Amino acid sequence: MKLVRLATSETVPLEDGFLWSDEFSWKAIEQNQGYAMDGTLHIQEGKKKSGRPITLQPADTGMGWIKLRHLRTVLEWSELQDEVFKLQFEQPHDNRQFTVKFNHQDGALEANPVKGIPAVSLDDYYNVTLRFTELNDGD
């Protein structure tokens, strides 16, 4: 998996040990139901055009790691306003790509050192949770 900053084509590799925890909880159809005065059910519905959450969490503490050097880049990118990224899965069974922004409303990034102590090297690993919002081409 990798994250690509579209403005510059810079890429950060992400381990394949992330679980897309809210992949199947997204409801693409928004629906309102109400009753008229005579008791008739009225249903209004529409398909959402964007806004799907993509939360990448470690499947367990032994997965979903990222080196401190890459984590610092991702943190820097998350602090850029109006930046758009491509999240690209790179597994034999899954090569989907998504245009995303960091989801600051729900906490764009969380990170903890794997060893539970401060890093001593840029190659030390962190467990990371990343939160994105999928965009469509018009967003």
Q: How is residue 44 written in tokens?
A: 């209004």
Question: What tens digit of pLDDT does each residue of 117-139 get?
Answer: 888 999 999 999 999 999 986 56
pLDDT, residue 62, reads 85
Question: What tens digit of pLDDT does each residue of 34-91 get?
Answer: 999 999 999 999 999 999 999 999 988 888 899 999 999 999 999 999 999 999 999 8
pLDDT, residue 57, reads 94
Rounded Cα gap, residues 74 and 64, in angstroms = 14
pTM check: above 0.85: yes
For residue 126, give the amino acid letter: Y
Average pLDDT, integer, range 98-116: 95
Question: What tens digit of pLDDT does each residue of 76-101 get?
Answer: 999 999 999 999 999 889 999 999 99
Residue 15 has pLDDT above 60, yes or no: yes
Strand spans (E) along the chain: 2-5, 10-13, 18-20, 29-35, 41-47, 53-58, 65-67, 85-88, 97-102, 109-113, 125-134
Q: How many residues does the chain have?
A: 139
Higher pLDDT, 10 or 15: 10
Which residue, chain included where needed, has tokens 């999928």?
Answer: 134
